[in-house]
Amino acid sequence: MHKLNVLIAGSTGYIGIQLIKLLSKHKKVSIKYLCGKSSVGKKISYFDKSFNSKSLPNIIKFNKSLLKSVDLIFTALPNGEAQVISKYLLKKNVLIDLAADFRLENIKNYLKWYKQKHKAVTNIKNSIYALPELNLNKIKKFNIISCPGCYPTSILLPLIPLIKKKIINQQNIIIDSKSGYSGAGRGVHKKYAKKNLYDSLSAYGVGFHRHNSEIDQEISRVTKSKYNFIFTPHLTPMFRGILTTIYVETKNKISFKEIHNHLSKYYKNKIFVKVLKKNSLISTNDVINTNKCYISVCKTRYKNKYVILSVIDNLIKGGSGQAIQNMNIRFNFKESEGLK
């Protein structure tokens, strides 16, 4: 059986490590190259002792000549670097980016939110924002696949079906998300050294977090009506996981049961999204180490106001697992291959 030859650029970060762990067990993948910068020459086991370095290549510096011998490139790099790699792609190459390089279609928005000019503008039209449960059929047509951010994944999965159906008031959506500190990358330990990262809860990016741009873009795809939302992210003293709480109001006397039924029906045949029984209290622990998103719809003491909860593992459904899910779709593998 032919296996996909894969290159992973940015292999030593939290996302890169998780990606290697999952791909190492994928029956249809062969990890040919691991690439890095400061880590060049080291074994991947230096960064995670659970790896058997004999079965994995040593870390090397990326060179465009490597693209000749691979089918697929995963990039888990700082923003801007996948754009450069995209210029070297051969016709046979597929690029799956886990950073923000191709998430935004508007280059002005990219400059506004990421404070840098886009280096591969002509490739934007060749890319897709790939949240599998919402645009599965389109993914197969693209060779540059952009994986959503972890926060938007947890937010858009419960929110988009309700906005498309015009079930909720779009003028007053409040989103509160809490993430494990791995979502901020390895540099988080230095950045939050004076804030007692491991014993405290920290709000950040209030009103202006970069992921606002993704949420905006994807909501505007499904509605012509005016909308507004407030999104506040928090870092928590846990390593992984995201719990998102969304506060919504219903329109036109739509009932609690209707909201729940619509979400349940929408995701009925989606293997990685599960809508739980009404008023279920959910925890990040329910989905850790899986590619699943759990959603719960809960009542409040007011008739037309409801709380929607969603939980994901930010390193898997919010990162490496979703990237592999997109790979499976793009190459006509079973969608759950390597993700059970």
- The amino acid sitting at 140 is K
- Collapsing DSSP to helix, strand or coil, 235 comes out as strand
d(CA 243, CA 149): 14
SS3 state at 35: strand
The dihedral of CA 276, 265, 305, 158: what is its sign? positive
CA 121 to chain centre: 22
Could you give the CA distance from residue 17 to residue 185 in angstroms, rounded to a whole number? 12
Mapped onto helix, strand or coil, the DSSP state of residue 140 is coil
To the query of whether residue 150 is one of the catalytic residues in this protein, the response is yes
Q: Which has the closest alpha carbon to 168: 267, 259, 289?
A: 259
Angle between helices 321-330 and 14-23 (to 10 degrees): 50
Sign of CA dihedral 67, 69, 73, 77: negative
Q: Give me 250's structure tokens.
A: 């219903």
Q: Tell me the backbone φ, ψ of residue 274, rounded to 5 degrees.
A: -125, 120
Is the Cβ–Cβ distance between 297 and 308 less than 8 Å? yes
Spot the catalytic one: 147, 150, 293, 298: 150
Rg of the chain over Cα atoms, rounded to whole angstroms, equals 20
The rounded distance, in Å, linking the Cα atoms of 19 and 313 is 13
Q: Of 65, 82, 75, 56, give the one whose Cα is nearest residue 7.
A: 75
Region of 156 (left: φ > 0; alpha: ψ -120 to 50; beta: rest) is alpha
Q: Report H helices in the chain.
A: 14-23, 81-86, 107-114, 132-139, 150-164, 188-191, 211-222, 256-266, 321-330
Distance, CA of 58 to CA of 26 (rounded, Å): 19
- List residues with catalytic annotation: 150
